[in-house]
Amino acid sequence: MCGIFAYTGKKNAAEVLLDGLTSLEYRGYDSAGIFIPEAGTVKAVGAVGNLKAKVPQNFKGQSGIAHLRWATHGEPTEINAHPHSDCAGEIWVAHNGIIENYKEIKDKLIKKKHTFVSDTDTEVLAHLIEENLKKENDFEKAVIASLREVRGTYGLAIAYSKEPEKIITGRMGAPVVLGLGENENFIASDPSPILRHTKNVIYLRDGEIAVITPSSHNIYTLDHNRVIGTPETIEWDISQAQKGGYEHFMLKEIMEAPEVLKNTIRGRLIVKDGLAKLGGLESVADKLRDVKRIIIVACGTAYYAGLVGEYMLEEYAGIPVEVEVGSEFRYRKPVIDGDTILLAISQSGETLDTLEAIREGKRKGALALGVVNAIGSTIARETDAGIYNHAGPEIGVASTKAFISQLTALSLITLFLGRQRQMSATMGKRIAEELLLLPEKIEAILGQKEYLQSLAEKYADSRDFLYIGRKYNYPIALEGALKLKEISYIHAEGCGAGEMKHGPLAMIDENFPTMAIALRDSVYEKMLSNMQEIKARKGKIIALATEGSEEVRGVADDVIYVPKTLEMLSPILSAIPLQLFAYYFARQKGLNVDRPRNLAKSVTVE
Ligand code: M6R
């Protein structure tokens, strides 16, 4: 949700910055901009390709800042594109976040004769630094003084044309990572643009600012006290953040599912004893034994993973579970006590709604756990314990491989907590053994991608889609519908199959097809009846069925077969054909599946 990137070193800054923006592109594509002290500023509406086309050959320098915008304040025009500057055009700011008190600061600065050109909150910061520079006479001190005045969220890259080698950043509620190279340093919203230059990074914490030059990096608090940051080495490989021959990241990431699942369970199963060994939970293992209740908080796809987690944990660990979207949780008065675990699920580890829910829960005494993919992210750092997904970077805005990994991680946590309680070793062993078989079963589903493409083509003219499922596959129906609508922009609705008769069934006719998840599990017969209800209204049905279920053919118009597995693990398999179907459906419509309109990866605003 907006991306910042800055460079200072000896290389051609324009090349480094534009290249970096390309890897950050999933964070925003309303506009892009670049400032290089020796060369000037270029901005363009739309994605980074438009900016690249505008940057002249002789746009040279050895440092600079760049930005990708996901619009909040002000329309996505060139005027509103970042970086924004002060009156003199000397101080330039690239910003991810929202300055909440921008209006009052702007009014104050207008009285002091500052002239504003954009509608953005960010421009206020550039002018405020200009104003404070008059008093402080020092760039760093002026930035610190300004950041002490603003309220809201920010991840920043600030350049000053009179000190071209120096870039300043600050972080409050929006991620910032420093990349430490040989005679060059970087600032970015996440490691993806840094990876090709260095794997040594420092994640900034809220309330910290950092000043980088080619040969130094210094971190301070907003009281100007020095902080010693801890460098970390990123394990992710640059190739993981590239398309690797695929047309889109989304397809590449769906196809990575078998490997992702292996990485999520690697070293975490003791099959012979039916146990999960989760190092990230060891420090709180004794507390977890006494836990009476779990509240899962998450957003979007991660929320649907949480719903599956609820079914797993209640059935196999016997712990009452509630699941809530982060944006609702924080604004009501949830009843929480010391026996409650708050479990956050987040791919990016930066989703503000989820993060704030965790903070609220911790304030009320809950133990906070995380299932997070992005290593070193804010949620990973602010939770008391948790497990990493190890799914590798997910670039496509539509979450796919992270979802598969989240479901897998939740099954591991269920095994861990279940075995602390009533789950038998035999049951634990069955779950562990079945998890190990899943990569091969996923391969079998991925092998049907041409068939899924042909189905997507057959149904591509549909303007609506209903997704139905029951029990473990009810959340998968919700997730399947989300996948389709977010990248195809058509109306898709997910619904518990038993709920259809309470309303959604009214929509069904010959032009309103249904994707029915009808696996051979404990609710199979019920699903078949629900499909009959649709058939009776002339609705077309694509059924997702277990291999060998021939009777489904009698009700459905088309059938996608998936291998049999344990019911609790079946969502891991059923999610994949729905991801592929959504992908090919959107592609058939000629849409940019990796960058759906109005959306961005990593939602760091409310
Ligand atoms: O990074 P997170 O897992 O916290 O993100 C949560 C949602 O924003 C995310 O899953 C979103 O719904 C995806 N676009 C869905 O594909």
Angstrom distance (rounded) from CA 375 to CA 173: 17
Residue ranges of domains in the chain: 3-234, 242-446, 448-592
| Cβ of 263 below 6 Å from ligand 1 | no
Ligand 1 pocket test: which of 1, 189, 351, 486 has the largest number of ligand atoms within 8 Å of its C-beta? 351
CA angle centred on 519, ends 492 and 593, rounded to 5°? 35
Question: What is the CA(600)–ligand 1 centre distance, in A?
Answer: 9
Q: What is the pLDDT of residues 456-509, one digit of tens each?
A: 999 999 999 999 999 999 999 999 999 999 999 999 999 999 999 899 999 999
Residue whose CA is closest, atom 4 of ligand 1?
346
Residue whose CA is closest, atom 9 of ligand 1?
300
Please report the atom of ligand 1 found closest to the CA of residue 348.
1
| CATH fold for the domain made of 242-446 | Rossmann fold (3.40.50)
Q: Is the pLDDT of residue 71 over 90?
A: no
Q: What is the pLDDT of residues 166-217, one digit of tens each?
A: 999 999 988 999 999 999 999 999 888 998 999 999 999 999 999 999 999 9
Comparing 3-234 with 448-592, is the CATH topology the same? no
Q: What is the pLDDT of residues 334-358, one digit of tens each?
A: 888 888 999 999 999 999 999 999 9
Question: What is the CA(398)–ligand 1 centre distance, in A?
Answer: 7
Helix, strand and coil content of the chain, in percent to the nearest 5, comes to: 40, 25, 35
Show which residues are catalytic: 2, 601
Structure tokens at 499: 């709920």
Predicted pLDDT at 300: 97
| Cβ of 397 below 6 Å from ligand 1 | yes
Average pLDDT over residues 28-37: 92
User: CB pairs under 8 A, 24+ apart, for 107-114?
Assistant: 114/86, 114/87
Ligand 1 pocket test: which of 297, 329, 347, 383 has the largest number of ligand atoms within 8 Å of its C-beta? 347
Question: What is the identity of the amino acid at 576?
Answer: I
Residue in 140, 398, 115 with CA at minimum distance from that of residue 252 = 398
DSSP H or E segment with residue 430: helix 425-446
Structure tokens at 143: 């930035």
| CATH fold for the domain made of 448-592 | Rossmann fold (3.40.50)
Please report the atom of ligand 1 found closest to the CA of residue 599.
14
Give the rounded percent of residues in the chain with a pLDDT score beyond 70: 100
Phi-psi region of 245 (alpha: psi -120 to 50; beta: other; left: phi over 0): left
Ligand 1 pocket test: which of 603, 604, 605 has the largest number of ligand atoms within 8 Å of its C-beta? 603
Give the model's confidence band at 333: pLDDT under 50 very low, under 70 low, under 90 confident, else very high: confident
Superfamily grouping for domain 3-234? Aminohydrolase, N-terminal nucleophile (Ntn) domain (3.60.20.10)
φ and ψ at residue 56, rounded to 5 degrees: -75, 160
Predicted pLDDT at 603: 76
Q: What is the pTM of this model?
A: 0.82
CA angle centred on 99, ends 98 and 105, rounded to 5°? 160
Structure tokens at 152: 């809201």
Structure tokens at 382: 């602010």
